[in-house]
Chains A and B, each alone.
Chain A
Amino acid sequence: TCEAEAARAAMGGSASLLPQETLGEYQELTFLSKQEILLAYKRFTELLPKEERENACSARVPKSQILTLPELRANPFQHRICRVFSTSDDGDDSMSFEDFLDMLSVFSDSATSDIKSHYAFRIFDFDDDGTLDRKDLEKLVNCLTGQGEESRLSKREMEQLIRNILEESDIDKDGTINLAEFQHIVSRSPDFARYGGLQR
């Protein structure tokens, strides 16, 4: 496992590198290339305090630290992204190195649009109930237009917009968008594959 290898590497003195076997495993289990995984490791360890850097694989970075990353800093969905990718049992949305790799993998250019749309659905599902209902859509639009009172759409505009969205994407007309409908509508969107990428 990663921890055993890292401990061995630490004793050998090359504490800052990932062992080869784990590197290969991560290449197999994610869409990232070798360079990208090493870069991710470097950035992850920089988020940790010095004394925890040796056990980077098993350490968890608190949410506040993750949000300092440039990719997430300006992202309106930063909290949802941390929530979705975090495997923390405490519910504090802290991320381990593997969660971090998962996140970068989904947002990389080589990820399939299937997996991107799946995670996009979970990010947009603000109340985690498995569907996008009116409240989710409202929160989504507010995230897009920005914080602050003057950047929100008026009530009438929001109604009109949500009505249009549901008209376009709600196939079974139950008033919510489920995963299949979401993936269907997004697969036909030409911009989705291009926009779902984080800069490395």
Chain B
Amino acid sequence: EVFLPEETRSAAPVDFLQELPSYQSALRRRAAAGGTQERRTAPRGSAGLRAAEARGPEQEGGELPARPARELPVSMAEKRRLRDCQQADIKYLSGWKPWKRTSSKSLKKVLNEVKELFSYLELWRHDIHSIEGEFGTGIQSYFSFLRFLVLLNFIIFILMFSVVTLPSIISKYGIFNSSFAKIPPKNIEPHCTVYKPSGNKGLVYFYTYLKDLFSGTGFLKETSLFYGYYTIDTAWLSILRYNLPLAYLLATFAYLGLSLLWIIKRSVEGFKQNLVHDEDQFQSYCNKVFAGWDFCITDPNAAQLKHRSLQYELQTDLEEERLKQKIADRTMKEKLRIYSLRILINIIVFAVLSGCFYSIYRATVFSQENSNVSIRHDIRTDSVNLLLQYLPSMVITLANFIAPQIFSFLIRFEDYSPAFEIRLTLMRCVFVRLANIGVLLFSLWSQISYCATDECKACGYNYELYPCWESAVGQEMYKLMIFDFIIILAVTLFVDFPRKFLVTHCSCKPVQWCGLQEFGIPDNVLEIVYGQTICWIGTFFSPLLPAIATIKYFIIFYIKKISLIHTCKPAARPIRASSSNFFFLLVLLIGLILAFIPLGISITHIPSSKACGPFRSFNTSWAVVPDTILGFPTGLQQVLHGIASEAFAVPFFMVTCLIMFYFIALAGAHKRVVEQLREQLVMVRFDPLVCTLKFS
């Protein structure tokens, strides 16, 4: 063996490692986090470095020491000794350095105390910690994700409430000497502006209120829950003029932008790792072996399952590698067969999707055409009516349940590697779930803008059936959300718990083979992302929807936690925590971007209803922005027009492309440096000069 053991080995290879870009960025990160360090010591290349590290600070003599004692990997007695040395060194420092050290120390102490205080305020901190201990970090990341959504919805609710609902309520009730004005819209046919919300008149049965609560009709329609309440063109709070239409629109953009920024901020960590995709494959084995054991596990049963899952994971990866080799050795005939099979299966998938979309379309059209409020108010027609109202939600839920089963059945024939199979099925399920909402909205719009008569064309939308169409869309979103919540509750109560009961008390073979259910993270995540997409789309039409979403997710947390603890067994095939975080946020981002599309179309293309809402006097909801800009001083107007013109947009686009290409080139250059350094490291081992240095 060329190398001598212990301390003498350290010098040359480690210097090359220090030049690697990843090491530099780790150093930078450490410097940002460390604070008091002024000199960076190189990591020595041996394990017996207690003595070496201890000698380190002393060797630097009168200069400031390298790191605070607690960051050194030595025993407590050693750390105490080093700290005393450091403090002794401080005594010999002159000038303002001692003051700087002590003030930074006390500052750190104060910051630590503040951080501790904030950690107490963290919602569900103890619950999530106990879940982590029993079920591992993969499932814990699902619950952290749920907590994130609760907070996000709460912030969106606060935003909408304070900007839109509160001023409306204040001005409608005349508090603080405020008032509001309803400017009759000019140049609009009078028939478009007729709007009589059919509330409950006279004596009604109690169940009518219940029915209204579930379907968003009746008394709910006139409340601030829906768009129709905000029929205010300007509000005056004492002497301040409050432009409610503009505030409504800007609040919408604000909550979309806030969601986007927050999600991107959270996903930056995971994205950085996954961006350089080949790096991830490059060290997947090391990742699994060195970071494989979940130190949070305290339960021996969970540990046993973790052992099995690790074994399974390692064996699967090794098998996949052998499979890749086999695929590379495929003959032309086999390749043709497989590709044609894949095309056929993709056609079948496409057919299944079209089937889902068409059935949703027909269900929505049927529901809209037939669910009119009956005059007789008897319980039978009302229940049928309620069922009809919920028909689109039920069809969507059915489609969301059946389609993934079909996909996971079909993908077995496509002969992909197991990891790719999982990813492709997941992507298909995501697409189905989110596209279903899009199809529902599309069918609603086709109903709303269906115009046969000239009078109808004058309004731009079907004014007879939908005098206040935004409220109608808001009602659909409200129903979707309520139904989603009911389904989650029902599945937990009527499927999970009976299954657990059966498995524990009935010992017949088929039941035992079925077994307890696993906590399927992808399915659960898709469920809540679906609910969140509905919330994002629906908030424009129903400003109080985020409050309902917050309460819904709050209750779902406890439902899922109870279901997990009492009825689930941990998954045999785990998803890793890091990639699961990235996956959750990616799916959420896809949901958000999919929510932009219907909102964009309804704000900019579909004429706003003239009978209700803050946008009565405008053509479309977006028209309030150009209107406001016209009220700005001419200089500012010209600037804004300039920004929106092509003369600005095209150079801006080109500059953005150039910057992107620069970063791609930089990443490529870094990769080349890494390769070169690796080669040099191998050669250095046999470099005669270095060998003599070592032995001297």
Residues of A within 8 A of B (CB): 25, 27-31, 33-35, 70-71, 73-77, 87, 98-99, 101-102, 105-107, 112, 114-115, 118-122, 124-125, 128-131, 137, 140-141, 143-146, 151, 153, 157, 160-161, 164-165, 168-169, 171-174, 178-192, 194-200
Contact = CB atoms under 8 A, between A and B. Distances in A.
B6 A130 contact: yes
B444 to A, nearest CB: 42
A48 B321 CA distance: 51
A78 to B, nearest CB: 11
Contact of A98 (B6, B76, B321): B76
A143 to B, nearest CB: 8
Contacts of A187: 22-23, 26
Nearest to A120: B290
Interface in B101-144: 109, 112, 116, 129, 132-133, 137
Interface string B1-24: 011011001000110010010110
A41 to B, nearest CB: 14
B303 A75 contact: yes
A97 B350 CA distance: 64
Given A73-B300, A157-B315, A169 B283 contact: yes
Interface string B67-90: 001111101110110010000000
Closest 6 CB pairs of A and B: A146-B307, A74-B303, A190-B578, A98-B76, A145-B311, A130-B47
Contacts of A120: 290
B576 to A, nearest CB: 6
Contacts of A140: 289
Contacts of B302: 74
A28 B69 contact: yes
Given A33-B112, A76-B307, A130-B46, A188 B678 contact: no
B488 interface: no
A108 to B, nearest CB: 11
B196 to A, nearest CB: 58
A199 B132 contact: yes
A181 B298 CA distance: 30
Nearest to A178: B45
Contacts of A200: 129
A74 B287 contact: no
Contacts of A121: 47
A150 to B, nearest CB: 9
Contacts of A129: 5, 47
Interface stretch (B428-436, B502-510, B592-600, B681-689): B681-689
B292 interface: yes
Given A105-B70, A172-B681, A189-B286, A98 B77 contact: yes
B71 A184 contact: no
A197 B20 CA distance: 28
A18 to B, nearest CB: 14
B43 interface: yes
A99 B77 CA distance: 9
A29 B79 contact: yes
Contacts of A76: 293, 303, 307
Contacts of A196: 291, 295
Given A140-B289, A172-B682, A187-B26, A195 B310 contact: no
A159 to B, nearest CB: 10
A33 B678 CA distance: 41
A144 B288 CA distance: 10
B506 to A, nearest CB: 29
18 contacts: A28-B83, A29-B70, A35-B116, A77-B293, A87-B77, A99-B75, A107-B295, A114-B43, A160-B321, A161-B314, A161-B318, A164-B285, A169-B286, A171-B13, A172-B13, A173-B685, A179-B43, A179-B45
Nearest to B48: A130
A60 to B, nearest CB: 13
Contacts of A25: 80
B46 to A, nearest CB: 5
A174 B292 CA distance: 24
A184 B22 contact: yes
Interface residues of B, number: 81
Contacts, number: 219
B318 to A, nearest CB: 5
Given A74-B298, A115-B71, A195-B295, A188 B76 contact: no
Contacts of A146: 304, 307-308, 310-311
B646 interface: no
B47 A122 contact: yes
Given A98-B77, A190-B270, A199-B298, A153 B314 contact: yes
A107 B576 CA distance: 19
Contacts of A118: 73
Contacts of A173: 682, 685
Given A77-B293, A160-B318, A191 B576 contact: yes
Contacts of A105: 70
B278 interface: no
A74 B303 CA distance: 6
B282 interface: yes
A197 B314 contact: no
B464 interface: no
Contacts of A122: 47, 73
Contact of A189 (B70, B283, B299, B684): B283
B297 interface: yes
Contact of B20 (A30, A179, A184): A184
A97 to B, nearest CB: 9
Interface string B187-204: 000000000000000000
B294 interface: yes
A43 to B, nearest CB: 13
Nearest to B272: A190
A178 B308 CA distance: 29
A189 B80 CA distance: 32
Centre residue among B77, B295, B321 by max chain A CB count within 10 A: B295
A188 B43 contact: no
A120 B299 CA distance: 22
A93 to B, nearest CB: 14
Nearest to B42: A180
Nearest to A76: B293
A3 B295 CA distance: 32
B512 interface: no
Contacts of A99: 75-76
A146 B289 CA distance: 13
A195 B76 contact: no
A29 B80 CA distance: 7
B577 A29 contact: no
Interface string B264-280: 00000110010000010
A28 B47 contact: no
B44 interface: yes
A125 B290 contact: no
Given A74-B300, A114-B30, A144-B293, A171 B283 contact: no
A191 to B, nearest CB: 4
B296 to A, nearest CB: 5
Of A70, A102, A106, which is in contact with the most chain B CB atoms at under 10 Å from its CB?
Answer: A102
Nearest to A190: B578
A180 B43 CA distance: 7
A30 to B, nearest CB: 6
Contacts of B77: 87, 98
Given A102-B76, A179-B46, A199-B132, A165 B314 contact: no
A153 B70 contact: no
A182 B290 contact: yes
A198 B112 CA distance: 20
